[in-house]
Amino acid sequence: MAELIRVALCDDHAMVRSGLCRILREDPSLEVVGEATTADEAVALADAEKPDVFVMDLTLPGEGGISATRRIREVSPSTRVLVLTMHDDVAYLREAFAAGATGYVLKKGADVEFALAVKTVAAGEQYVHPALGASLLAEPPSAPGKRSSVPQLSAREAEILKFVALGYTNAEMAQNLALSPRTVETYRATLQQKLGLRSRSELARFARDSGLLE
């Protein structure tokens, strides 16, 4: 039997924590090991429990979630932080990842993608809300040595490329985007043609090498 994924969470709203715990406990592969309401409580909980995943709200009373994320990574380097927030601004996403987070989910979509996001970051992969992934693709990469520009993509193409880079199958992309698998395959083929690439692995490599997931 596979080991349970141990999850802790921090949010200052009791109703939000209750809803998150309900979602987590509906999945037999996930276990809630503690709750916190402030940054200090979150850091202490991470230090004591060493959870696999720590779900962190950005807006907390006093010290914010960005600073808390950085401190959690210091006291428990093996813990992966999944940010769960109302902020749909790419600037917040970049700041969270710079602090050590490996996932970013919007509260408005938590009921659909939350458990998947937890499992994804627990497996060592990054998870970013698809809408924000599309916004990232719209920005030119700034890191030295990266590709200087990205061909103009539609919002849907940007979503598909983001999902490909995050390792989703065609069926999973179709389910998340409310499309048919054949339509997803058509979008992927169009992306390959636009970018001059030949395979799924090359699409994923392009997204990563271009700095689009940073």
Tokens of 51: 């959870």
* pLDDT tens readout for residues 29-72: 999 999 999 999 999 999 999 999 999 998 888 888 889 999 99
8 A C-beta contact, residue 67 and residue 37: no
DSSP secondary structure code for residue 103 in this structure: E
Average pLDDT over residues 194-203: 76
pLDDT tens column, 74-128 = 999 999 999 988 877 777 787 888 889 999 988 876 777 888 889 999 998 888 8
Residue ranges and CATH numbers for the domains of the chain are 5-128 (3.40.50.2300), 135-209 (1.10.10.10)
| pLDDT confidence band for 142 (50 / 70 / 90) | very low
Kindly give, in sequence order, each residue whose CB lies less than 8 Å from that of residue 145, ignoring residues fewer than 6 positions away: none
Query: Which amino acid type is present at position 52?
Result: D
pLDDT digits (tens, 9 = 90+) for 146-193: 443 445 677 788 788 878 877 778 888 888 888 888 888 888 888 887
- Write out the two tokens for 70: 């950085």
pLDDT at 200: 73
Judge whether residue 136 has pLDDT over 50: yes
d(CA 81, CA 1): 25
